[in-house]
Structure 1
Amino acid sequence: MTDITNDLNQLLADHQVFYQKCRIYHWTVQGPLFFALHQKFEELYTEAALRVDELAERIVALGGRPIGTLAKQVSTSRLGEDGEARSAKAMVQNLIDDLEKLTLWLRETAADAGEANDSATLNMLEGFADANGKTMWMLRAFLAD
C-alpha cells in the first residue's frame, strides 16, 4: 500500500493548495458577482477541508503518515498557489482548471487503488471525482454568456 499512500499524500497536498486558493478567493472576490461567489467559494473550501480530512485519515488507516506541514504540502502539490489579484470570472476559471486536474489525478489514483483491491480508497476517490464533475458543470454554467 506504500504506492497508494504516496499517491494519497500527493492528493492531500493538491487538495490543501486548492482549499487555500478557495479561501483567498472567498476573501478577495470583488464586484457585482461578490455575493454569489463569496458564498460559492465558501462551499468549495468547506468541501475541500472535508476531503483533506478524509484523505489524511485514509493515509493513516493504510499505515502511512500524512504530510503535515504547510511548507511540505505546497512544495509537493502539483497545483500552483494563487495570491494574485484576479477578476471574479478569472477566479472561477482558475478553479475549473484546478478541478479538471484534480479529477484526472483522483481517477488515476482510484484506478491504482482498484488494481490493489483497495475498494475503500477507490470508492472515496471516485466519489470525489464525480462530485468535481458536477461542480465543474455548475461553474462553467456560471461563466456562460
Structure 2
Amino acid sequence: MKNLIGIDQEKAKVLSAKLNDLLANYQMFYQNLRGLHWNIKGREFFELHLKFEELYNDAVIKVDEIAERILTLESEPLHTFSDYLKVSELKEAKGITNGIEGIEVVVKNFSVLILKEREILSLAGDAEDEGTVSLMSDYISETEKTLWMLNSYLR
C-alpha cells in the first residue's frame, strides 16, 4: 500500500524512523554548536565564534527540513529533548572553551551525521523516495566539504 506521495507505507515508516534518529542527532549537534559559540575563548575567538554561529544557523534549518520530511512521509517527528537525549548517538559537549577541542567535537559530530545521512540516502533510493534522496544528497555534499575544511583547520 502506498502513502499520499506514492511511497510504500512500510518503507516510509522505516525512513521516518531513520529520519527521526537523524533529527535527534541534529538537535544535539545544534545544541553543541550553541554551547561552543557561547563559550569559546582564546586567540581564535572571533573566527570560531562566527563559524559556530554559521554552523548552528545551518543546523537549525536542517532540523526543520528533516522534521518536515518526516511529516511528508506521514509520520510524526520527535520534538522533546527527552526523546532527543534517548535517541541521539551524539552526546552533549559540555564546558569546552578551547578552539581546537571545539572543532574536534564538530568534526566528530559531523562524522556521525554523515554516516546516518548515507544510510538514509541508500534506504530512500530503495524506496524510490526522490524527495529524501535529494535532501540527503545535498546534506552529504555540504558535510563532505565542511569536514574537509574543518580537518584542514586542525592540521
Per the normalisation by structure 1, the TM-score is 0.96
Distance 2:85 2:37 in 1: 20
Match of 2:36 in 1: 25
Match of 2:86 in 1: 75
- Worse overlay, 78-87 or 124-133: 78-87
Distance 1:27 1:94 in 2: 15
- The two structures, once aligned, show a CA RMSD in angstroms of 0.8
Which residue identity lines up with residue 133 of structure 1 in the other structure? E
Distance 1:86 1:28 in 2: 5
Match of 1:53 among 64, 67, 71: 64
Instruction: Classify the secondary structure of the residue corresponding to 1:9.
Output: helix
Instruction: Classify the secondary structure of the residue corresponding to 1:68.
Output: coil
Deviation at 1:141, TM superposition (A): 1.5
Matched, 1:103 2:82: no
Match of 1:113 among 110, 124, 134: 124
Matched, 1:41 2:52: yes
Match of 2:142 in 1: 131
Distance 1:78 1:126 in 2: 21
Which residue identity lines up with residue 23 of structure 1 in the other structure? R
Cα shift readout 1:109-143 (whole Å, capped 9, x = no counterpart): 11001000001101101110110011111111212
Deviation at 1:86, TM superposition (A): 4.2
Match of 1:63 in 2: 74
Which residue identity lines up with residue 112 of structure 1 in the other structure? L
For the pair shown, the structure with the greater C-alpha radius of gyration is 2
Deviation at 1:85, TM superposition (A): 3.0
Cα shift readout 1:15-74 (whole Å, capped 9, x = no counterpart): 000000000000000000000000000000000000000000000011000001111112
Distance 1:63 1:45 in 2: 27
Deviation >6 Å, runs of 4+: none
Cα shift readout 1:62-102 (whole Å, capped 9, x = no counterpart): 10000011111121111111113342101101110111111
Distance 1:66 1:73 in 2: 11
Match of 1:88 in 2: 99
Equivalent pairs, count? 144
Identity %: 36
